[in-house]
A and B are shown apart, each in its own frame.
Chain A
Amino acid sequence: MPEPAEHPLLAVRDLRTWFLADSGPIRAVDGVSFTLHAGETLGIVGESGSGKSVLAKSIMRLLDEPARIVGGDIMFRGRHLNQLGDAEIRQIRGREIAMVFQDPMTSLNPVLRIARQLVEAMTAHGRFTVAAARKRSIDLLRRMGVAAPDRAVRAYPHHFSGGMRQRVMLAMGFSNEPALLIADEPTTALDVTIQAQILDLLRDLNASLGTAVILISHDLGVIANVCSRVLVMYAGEVVEEGAPEDLLSDPRHPYTWALLHAAPRIDAPLDASERRLATIEGQPPDPRAWPAGCRFRARCPFAEARCAEPPPLSATGPTRAARCWITQDGSSLPPPPRRTAAPAAAAPSAPSAADSPVPMLRLAGVTKHFALARESLFAPPRMLRAVDGVDLDVFKGETVGLVGESGCGKSTLARLIARLHAPTSGTIAFDGQDITTASIAEMRPLRRRMQMIFQDPFASLNPRMTVGDILAGPIALHGLAGDPALRVAELLDLVGLAPAHAARYPHEFSGGQRQRISIARALAVGPELILADEPVSALDVNIQAQIINLMVDLQERLGLTYLFIAHDLAVVRHVCDRIVVLYLGRVMEIARAGDLFARPLHPYTAALIAAAPVPDPRIERSRRRVPMLGEPPSAIAPPSGCRFRTRCPIAAPLCAAEVPLLRPGADGQFVACHFPGAL
């Protein structure tokens, strides 16, 4: 790589940060080198466990025991950060290098006012008097887009939403005009529309203040949105480095290649007959014993004999480098082979309402209001309107997607259908049978036909039961015929696990494997309908692709019907036939996947689509932005009329006065908007 003449702002050389655990060192960061120039935006991407967060903490020297920098060098503005004493590094933290963390909900001290937390960041370095810092904190909040900043500084963190808190964190980060801001997954905990707002802000701050930014993310789209250079990390090493334009269109490391192709894209052509994604085999390696040679070799579809030798990070172009023998000569990697669809007989074409007149699932006016604790003995009871009048049909064999931001009621809706909750009003019918008020005993025979998959692979399996017991329980409960042990082995095989896994406990499995077990449990009773509540949200992109492929396979083999809940639009677009968009407990729009994305009729749908990042900087820069105002209102006191009107760019007086009904538009599309398609 050509070195620019000026000195880099930050030069990391062969950095090794290990966790000195009792059972042996965990080599989280294992020989990372890179440079960063003033004002540059560098993205670091990688899946969990790749070492990207530890790298950031190493630069800030914020490592907790037993993590230690055991080798290498961090040079920042002529100082070796790894050699500084506690007092010296303290003067750099927050003053010259600032950091923003992943979870804004826990990053602010709950018992201190915002003002105090902002002011102390400035006064700690003696650059401002308390009075000046106080004034500046209001200006900073205004700059970060916090409404009514003079009031906001006097508030406590719990008054703020996650997005607002992240703005406060950014204000704190920029308060001392640092030369470098490290943002560690700053938008991962936020909804997609809020994420778009924060990323816009970050880009704008970089451009106007000239602060260099290191943005850490697992999402290539987020990186492409902000960064001018990307570092891809795998197994504690940098495996590829370069401009996002190059990396994301022509990856030269098979891992980058796999990351890029495993994630469904919102702008890819849709093919309902083939929903499988390109994936790579297996799991990331164990950081206690990285594989010899190329660390990606075991999972690499291009691996050759020479990969047994560790490849160096070598230039593959004028401004890029990759750690791979295959592309060392400057060649590109081929695109993933198009998988040929399974035999046509097994692949059901997307069915429509006309094919099967009786829907498998019919919801009419379903509401769920949760009573909240009264504020005092004499206060009126408060209601959280989680789901507020939802009509929905699901037909046999189709996959219906349920999307919306957190708090829109999508998970509650799934739990109402599974009758884990009882609806407040409305009716739910399963295969023509009304189950709105069915008792536990009445539901039991139906539960064989309707099962659920959950979001959190770590909480959804009982840690005290073996996998075999978890799978055999439902079989025994419903008195299914056959040898249970045989059936357990069959189920494990079905989801791609080995029969021997039945004797193990859940904690012995990775997140993706647990999600497979969760799916096997749902399949144990031979259901027809599966309610999948964010089944891939907690997983890394490659594992997510594996699970999506598994679910697609199972649907073809077993003729399943899915109600697929997710917040990731690209995933929903990729796997679903029809999509339902929810906002604050109400349906905004229902349409076939292709139609919804080609011509969204509801402004909320349009805003959601515009906010979803695409892993291609050229597209990211040219895309139309839909301005979405502020934050979602509370479901305790939702806005009158149209629920979306407070954030809608085209809201009119009519929207506040009248609730728009869900009306059929063209070609089977339904929309609840007074001005459909106006945006």
Chain B
Amino acid sequence: MSGVILPRLASPGLRWARRYGLAASGGAIILAWLILAGCAPWTAPFDPNFVDVTDRLRPPSAVHWLGTDALGRDVWSRIIWGGRVSLVVGFSVVLLGAAFGTLLGAVAAYARGWAEEVLMRITDLVFCFPPIILAMAIAAALGIGTLNTMIAMLVVWWPKFARLARSLVISQRALEYVEAAQTVGFGPAHILLRQIMPNALGPLIVLITLDLGNAILVFAGLSFLGLGVTPPSAEWGAMVAEGRELVQQWWVATFPGLAILSVVMGFNFVGDGVRDWLDPHARTR
């Protein structure tokens, strides 16, 4: 091969790291939080609700890694226990919302006609409201509590999945394999659930992953406003609220906020990674 000048390419390991490094680190962050929060009784050094006013507002130390709050509770232990709430709420709201929204959108898209019209108008209607305002109104009306807040979030959460599922089904429905299945004689339910949905799953999974962070963020926001958990339960948003006047004792509000940031970024990393992985255009790059 005379006269051929090949430029040096980066090693395969480096190229993998460049492409999926962020996604892997995001996955590691999520996994770490799942383990920490899932095994809170063992991983938290202190009882999150143990009040010791003699030990209040201590800066981070060897005993209290992230310091103590105004009631002398260990901030690190409360963050670990608070992670449980955030993760459970995040997963439940997004998975339930996604299941409901996807079903609705997919059925609407496949049914066409008036059924589609009605279902999508309802979706538009809910879409008219900024989620946080509607969730706030509903959460306030239902009364404070984790379950009520989750219900409020669910009410506003499903429409985006309905829209995505609808557009995915519409684009798949135009492909010839769907017509082939109809020509063979398969019924609508089989075609929608067994043939189309597996092909629409990729983008849905991307949205679910990215949205998990979003749901945790909104729930923390509602908690911050006092609508999320009932005190004295540990929750990240509520912890920031408790510490927001304590500018000198910065650790009380800063660390729970960092916890939220890390989880949300973790989900974003993973979501972006999944998207790149599913997108053949980006993959061959």
Contacts and interface: CB of A to CB of B under 8 A. Distances in A.
Interface stretch (A65-73, A131-139, A264-272, A591-599): A65-73
A444 interface: yes
Contacts of A524: 184
A465 B190 CA distance: 14
Interface in B1-35: 1, 3-7, 9, 12, 15
A368 interface: no
Contacts of B1: 71
B186 interface: yes
A151 interface: no
Contact of B6 (A14, A20, A444, A473): A20
A287 to B, nearest CB: 14
B5 A474 contact: no
A456 interface: yes
B4 A70 contact: yes
Interface stretch (A201-209, A446-454, A544-552): A446-454
A473 B186 contact: yes
Candidate in A20, A22, A66, A460 with the most chain B CB atoms within 10 angstroms: A22
Contacts of A451: 183-184
Interface stretch (B46-54, B77-85, B96-104, B171-179): B171-179
A518 B175 CA distance: 14
A415 B9 CA distance: 50
B182 interface: yes
A66 B6 CA distance: 12
A21 B9 CA distance: 9
B195 A25 contact: no
Contacts of B195: 462, 465
A293 interface: no
A478 interface: yes
B4 A71 contact: yes
Contact-size category for B:
20 to 34
B176 A456 contact: yes
A64 to B, nearest CB: 10
Contact of A25 (B6, B182, B185): B6
A452 B199 contact: no
B112 interface: no
B128 interface: no
Contact of B285 (A65, A452, A464, A474): A65
B198 A447 contact: no
B3 A14 contact: yes
B62 interface: no
A456 B184 CA distance: 17
Contact of B183 (A14, A65, A420, A478): A420
Interface size class of A (residues with CB under 8 A): 35 or more
Given A447-B183, A451-B183, A477-B184, A459 B4 contact: no
Contact of B175 (A447, A459, A477): A459
Contact of A462 (B177, B183, B285): B177
Contacts of A447: 183-185
B168 to A, nearest CB: 13
B61 interface: no
B284 interface: yes
Given A440-B187, A478-B185, A459 B6 contact: no
Nearest to B6: A70
B186 A477 contact: yes
B200 to A, nearest CB: 10
Contacts of A65: 285
Contacts of A95: none
Contacts of B180: 452, 454, 460-461, 518, 521
Nearest to B284: A21
| Chain A interface, >50% SS class | mixed
Nearest to A25: B6
A448 B184 CA distance: 7
Interface in B144-181: 175-177, 179-181
Contacts of B199: 462-464
B4 A16 contact: yes
A448 to B, nearest CB: 8
* Residue among A70, A456, A464 with the highest chain B CB neighbour number at 10 A: A464
A524 B15 CA distance: 45
Given A20-B6, A459-B177, A460-B176, A521 B198 contact: no
Interface in A65-107: 65-66, 68, 70-72
Interface in A414-473: 415, 418, 420, 440, 443-444, 447-448, 450-452, 454-456, 459-465, 473
A78 to B, nearest CB: 21
A22 B187 contact: no
A122 interface: no
A440 B195 CA distance: 17
Contact of B184 (A22, A454, A465, A473): A473
Contacts of A14: 3
A440 B189 CA distance: 12
B9 A20 contact: yes
Nearest to B195: A462
A222 interface: no
A525 interface: yes
A418 B12 CA distance: 50
Contacts of A444: 185
A71 B1 CA distance: 9
Interface of A: 14, 16, 18, 20-22, 25, 65-66, 68, 70-72, 415, 418, 420, 440, 443-444, 447-448, 450-452, 454-456, 459-465, 473-474, 477-478, 518, 521-522, 524-525
10 contacts: A14-B3, A20-B6, A71-B4, A418-B179, A420-B179, A450-B183, A451-B184, A452-B180, A454-B176, A464-B198
Given A25-B6, A460-B180, A477-B185, 15 more contacts: A16-B3, A20-B6, A415-B179, A440-B188, A447-B185, A455-B176, A459-B175, A459-B176, A460-B176, A461-B180, A462-B181, A473-B186, A477-B186, A521-B184, A524-B184
Ordered nearest first, which 8 A-B pairs have the shortest CB separation?
A460-B176, A447-B185, A454-B176, A71-B4, A464-B198, A474-B184, A459-B175, A444-B185
